[in-house]
Amino acid sequence: MIEGALRVGIDVGGTNTDAVVLDAADRVVAKAKRPTSPDVTEGLRAALDAVLAEAGAAAGGVSRVMLGTTHATNAVLERRNLGRVAVLRLGAPATTSVPPLSGWPADLREAVCAGEAVVPGGHYVDGREIGPLDRDAIRRFLDGTAADAVAVTGVFSPADGGHEREVAELVRREYGLPVSLSHEIGSLGLLERENATVLNAALYGVAAHVVEALVRALAERGLAARPYLAQNDGTLMTVEHAARLPVATIGSGPANSLRGAAFLSGVAEAVVADVGGTSTDLGVLAGGFPRESAAAVEIGGVLTNFRMPDILAIALGGGSVVREHGVGPDSVGYRITEEALVFGGGTVTMTDAAVAAGRTPPGLPGRPETFRLDGLMRAAVARADEMVADAVDRMALGRGDRPLVAVGGGAFLLAPEIPGVSRVVRPEHAEVANAVGAAIALASGRVDTILPAGESRSKAIERAKEEAAARAVAAGADAAQVEIVDLVEVPLSYLSEPAVRVHVKAAGPLAR
């Protein structure tokens, strides 16, 4: 074995934590699946131990460990372990009619908000100042709050982030607090970008806990591997980068599955169905990367506008409970090997119905002789097939020429033929596609900004490309191999001066 030739990918799901080991040629040499523990971290350690034992990997053989985790998502959904945030908007008097955190669920607002203020500052869409930055007003606000972090959102800061950067410098110098800046997180749309920025600041403590747990787990096992965290666009970032932008990990699970599905199947344009124990996530591959959502994304009852994969989740999984009235939405989850009929339990699940219909899961040698497709199970299979067909129709947008790649531990539930796709592809190692997606991911950076459409447009776009490439390098990419993988220009109307909205994404392999 070549020293440092192995990579470990880990993905923490709602039911199971999956891990894989890939060699230098990107071959899967070991894989493991362990139940996700209530505190998430123990399941991570168990999966890491299991996959290293199966690979027979020496400590010096692993150079990188990539983690996709639900820590940030769970913290927001469960309203726990969140930091207190001082919410600062730069835009008075223009934006005072709608205060910060308007529309937030009361319990989440109470858990997060240490106070909010709207002070003079910010810019117009063409980059002109709305008004000068009022540093004294900022100091008065912060002097009266007890916060763990500060979230700063300037009006049209994607066009000019100067005021946000000035506030960050003031806060770090005079108050020593971490600062979340909206132009680094979201795109146009003040309230949604502000919401994402506040959530990012509230997750700093969660991110520190994840990073510490991962680093400690590697050290305890004598692994000198470099750790990375998966982002919600299917790429990676260093743990240092993740500590600053933890909200970018929220959609990492589905994105990992999509990237893993593309890699394992060799298909770059497809619908992907990731079937787990509790739910099925459907997404679309475009050029081998997840298709991104064009709409605002709701997280824990809060609308945000940072880039997320376009995912449709349905309540169908291997552990979904089957009753007379239908399938799920409740599931036995990781207890399936104890409660499902096929494993000797007493609960009728979708796994039981699928096995009775002749759809055998991996690890089960065949359909038990005692299993017959009765009326209840037949109805459950028909209902599950309807749910999948409807979800595919909603995601395919009328295109029936693409295949469906079936991945996840519950992929056996899917029918051999599904309306709306050309064929069903079931790649090898499909049950750990999410962990594979984490292990093969690139590092990336992106810029979403507004630029003049006149003669200076070309130079401004080149600067945006350079900034996106620099952000990719900061996330862990090799500077010599970073490429621009996406460039979108959208003309903006009704402005005093012609302008375009530009989105640039740069990506590259991890630095050695």
Residue 186 has pLDDT above 70, yes or no: yes
* Per-residue pLDDT reduced to its tens digit, 88-102: 999 888 888 889 998
Residue 328 has pLDDT above 70, yes or no: yes
pLDDT, greater one: 158 or 168: 168
Give the number of other Cβ atoms within 10 Å of residue 431's Cβ.
Answer: 21
pLDDT band at 370 (very low <50, low <70, confident <90, very high): low
In the prediction, which pLDDT does 2 show? 45
Residue 451 has pLDDT above 80, yes or no: no
- Percentage of residues in the chain having pLDDT higher than 70: 93
With CA atoms as reference, report the closest residue to 15 among 407, 333, 351. Answer: 333
* Per-residue pLDDT reduced to its tens digit, 274-302: 888 878 888 898 888 788 776 667 777 88
User: In angstroms, rounded to a whole number, what is the distance separating the alpha carbons of residues 267 and 386?
Assistant: 25
With CA atoms as reference, report the closest residue to 261 among 309, 331, 214. Answer: 309
Residue 351 has pLDDT above 70, yes or no: yes
pLDDT band at 355 (very low <50, low <70, confident <90, very high): confident
Q: Point out the least confidently predicted range of 168-172, 179-183, 313-317.
A: 313-317
Q: Point out the least confidently predicted range of 106-110, 181-185, 332-336.
A: 332-336
Q: Please state the rounded mean pLDDT for residues 202-221.
A: 87
Q: Please state the rounded mean pLDDT for residues 479-507.
A: 80
In the prediction, which pLDDT does 455 show? 66
Residue 410 has pLDDT above 80, yes or no: yes
DSSP three-state, residue 93: coil
SS3 content of the chain, % helix, strand, coil (to 5): 35, 30, 35
Give one DSSP letter per residue of 329-373, joined into a string: EEE-GGGHHHHBGGGT-SB-BHHHHHHHTT-PPTT--S--TT---
With CA atoms as reference, report the closest residue to 66 among 199, 234, 221, 183. Answer: 234
- Mean pLDDT for the chain overall: 84
pLDDT band at 59 (very low <50, low <70, confident <90, very high): low
Q: Please state the rounded mean pLDDT for residues 442-447.
A: 82
What's the token pair of residue 451?
A: 């630029």
Element containing residue 31 per DSSP (H, E): strand 28-35
* Per-residue pLDDT reduced to its tens digit, 69-82: 877 877 887 788 89
Return the DSSP state at 105: -
DSSP three-state, residue 62: strand
Give one DSSP letter per residue of 174-217, joined into a string: HT---EEEGGGT--S-HHHHHHHHHHHHHTHHHHHHHHHHHHHH
Q: Please state the rounded mean pLDDT for residues 489-508.
A: 77
Give the number of other Cβ atoms within 10 Å of residue 456's Cβ.
Answer: 11
In the prediction, which pLDDT does 496 show? 67
Residue 166 has pLDDT above 90, yes or no: yes
Residue 217 has pLDDT above 60, yes or no: yes
With CA atoms as reference, report the closest residue to 435 among 239, 280, 274, 268. Answer: 274
Exposed / middle / buried, residue 96 (Cβ in 10 Å: 0-12, 13-18, 19+)? exposed
Contact in structure between 400 and 271 (CB atoms under 8 Å): no
Exposed / middle / buried, residue 509 (Cβ in 10 Å: 0-12, 13-18, 19+)? middle
pLDDT band at 364 (very low <50, low <70, confident <90, very high): low
Q: Please state the rounded mean pLDDT for residues 242-267.
A: 85
pLDDT band at 16 (very low <50, low <70, confident <90, very high): confident
Q: Give this prediction's pTM.
A: 0.80
Segment 207-211 long-range contacts (CB within 8 Å, at least 24 positions apart): 207/71, 207/72, 207/242, 207/243, 207/246, 207/249, 208/243, 209/71, 209/81, 210/67, 210/69, 210/71, 210/72, 210/242, 210/246, 211/239, 211/242, 211/243
User: In angstroms, rounded to a whole number, what is the distance separating the alpha carbons of residues 197 and 106?
Assistant: 18
* Per-residue pLDDT reduced to its tens digit, 121-163: 888 777 778 889 999 999 999 998 999 999 999 988 887 888 9
Q: Please state the rounded mean pLDDT for residues 433-453.
A: 82
Cα atoms in the Cβ-side hemisphere of radius 13 Å centred on 439: 31
Q: Please state the rounded mean pLDDT for residues 173-192.
A: 88
- Percentage of residues in the chain having pLDDT higher than 90: 20
Tokens 């070991």, residue located? 30
Residue 433 has pLDDT above 50, yes or no: yes
